[in-house]
Amino acid sequence: MSTARQDVATLGSGWNKVLLNYALAMRELDKLPITDRNSWKFLGAIHGFDRQLWIDENVLGEDDPVPKDLTNYTYGSQCQHGSWYFLSWHRGYVYAFEAIVAAKVKELTGDDWALPYWNYLNSSNPDARRVPDAFLVETLPDGSPNPLSKYPRRQGLTRLRPGPRDAFSLAAMEENDFQVGNDGSIGFGGGVTGDFVQFARWTGDLENNPHNTVHRLIGGDQGFMANPYLAGLDPIFWLHHCNIDRLWEAWMSTPGKTMVRDPRWLNGPADRTFIMPVPGGGVAGMKFSGRDTLKDGKLHRSYADLSIGTGVTPGAEAVARVKMGAPDQQSIEPIGANAAAVRVGGAPVRTQVDLDQQATTAGIAAMGAMEPGKEVTRLYLALESVRGSAPSPLLEVYVNLPEGVDPQLHPECHAGSLTLFGLNVASRPDGGHGGNGLGYTIDITDLAQRLTDAGDFDPNHLRVTLVPGEQISEAKPVTVDRISVLKRSGVVS
Residue 316 belongs to some domain of the structure: no
What's the pLDDT at 164?
80
177 secondary structure, DSSP code: B
Going by C-alpha positions, the residue among 274, 468, 314, 448 that lies closest to residue 390 is 468
Radius of gyration (C-alpha) of the chain in whole angstroms: 22
- Indicate the range of 56-60, 74-78, 249-253, 293-297 predicted with least confidence: 74-78
pLDDT of residue 259: 97
How many H-runs (helices) and E-runs (strands) does the chain carry?
12, 11
Q: Residue 99 pLDDT more than 80?
A: yes
Under 8 Å between Cβ of 114 and 4: yes
Does residue 319 register a pLDDT over 60?
A: no
pLDDT 10s digits, 352-383: 999 999 999 999 999 989 999 999 999 999 99
Distance of alpha carbon 147 from alpha carbon 149, whole angstroms: 5
Report which of 399, 390, 421, 420 is spatially closest to residue 348, judged by C-alpha positions. Answer: 399
Element (H, E) at 382: strand 375-388
Confidence of residue 459 (pLDDT cuts 50, 70, 90): very high
339 shares its domain with 232: no
- Estimate the crossing angle of helix 86-109 against helix 17-31, to 10 degrees: 90
Give mean pLDDT, residues 52-73: 93
321 within some domain = no
In a domain, 408, yes or no: yes
Instruction: Report which of 483, 474, 439, 378 is spatially closest to residue 208, judged by C-alpha positions.
Output: 439
* Amino acid (1-letter code) at residue 206: L
Residue 242 lies inside a defined structural domain of this protein: yes
Q: What is the pLDDT of residue 315?
A: 81
| Tens-place pLDDT, residues 262-310 | 999 999 899 989 999 999 987 789 999 999 999 999 999 999 999 999 9
Domain C-terminal end among 242, 277, 293: 293
One domain, residues 284 and 416: no
SS (H, E, C) 383-446: EEEEEECCCCCEEEEEECCCCCCCHHHCHHHEEEEEECCCHHHHCCCCCCCCCCCEEEEEECHH
**49 backbone dihedrals φ, ψ, rounded to 5°:** -145, 130
Distance from C-alpha of 393 to C-alpha of 464, rounded to nearest angstrom: 19
Sign of the dihedral defined by the CA atoms of residues 332, 336, 342, 348, in that order: negative
Q: Are residues 265 and 348 in the same domain?
A: no
Tell me: pLDDT of 385 over 80.
yes
- Is residue 315 included in any domain, yes or no? no
Residues 93, 66: Cα–Cα separation, whole Å: 20
- Tell me how many domains the chain contains: 2
Q: Tell me the pLDDT band of 384, cut-offs 50, 70 and 90.
A: very high
Task: Specify whether 287 is located in the same domain as 390.
Answer: no
d(C-alpha 125, C-alpha 308), whole Å: 10
pLDDT at 209 over 80: yes
Residue 419's CATH number? 2.60.120
Query: Is 230 contained in some domain?
Result: yes
The C-alpha atoms of residue 239 and residue 234 are separated, in whole angstroms, by 10
Helix 40-47 to helix 17-31 angle, to the nearest 10 degrees?
Answer: 90
Give the domain CATH number at 135: 1.10.1280.10
Computed over every residue of the chain, the mean pLDDT equals 95
pLDDT at 282: 77
Q: Of 273, 293, 313, at which residue does a domain stop?
A: 293
Q: Same structural domain for residues 118 and 232? A: yes
Same domain, residue pair 231 and 348: no
Asked if residue 307 is part of any domain, the answer here is no
E strand or H helix at 465, and its extent? strand 461-468
Determine if the peptide bond prior to 210 is cis (ω within 30°): yes
Judge if 289 and 333 occupy the same domain: no
420 and 282, same structural domain? Answer: no
Give the model's pLDDT for residue 322: 80
Give yes or no: residues 289 and 334 share one domain.
no
pLDDT tens sequence across 120-173: 999 999 999 999 999 999 999 999 999 999 999 999 999 999 988 777 899 999
Average pLDDT for 202-209: 97
Q: Angle formed by the axes of helices 40-47 and 86-109, to 10°?
A: 170
Does residue 313 belong to any structural domain of this protein? Answer: no
Checking if the pLDDT of 55 tops 90, the result is yes
Give yes or no: residues 23 and 115 share one domain: yes
* Separation between Cα atoms, residue 116 and residue 72, nearest integer Å: 32
Which range marks the domain in which residue 376 is found? 327-491
Residues 136 and 218: beta-carbon distance below 8 Å = no
Indicate whether 278 and 335 sit together in one domain. no
CA–CA gap between residue 74 and residue 192 (Å, rounded): 22
Quote the DSSP letter at residue 35: T
Q: Of 236, 270, 293, which marks where a domain is finished?
A: 293
Q: Which residues are bridge partners to 465 per DSSP?
A: 350, 398
Q: Does 89 lie in the same domain as 216?
A: yes
Note the pLDDT of residue 320: 59
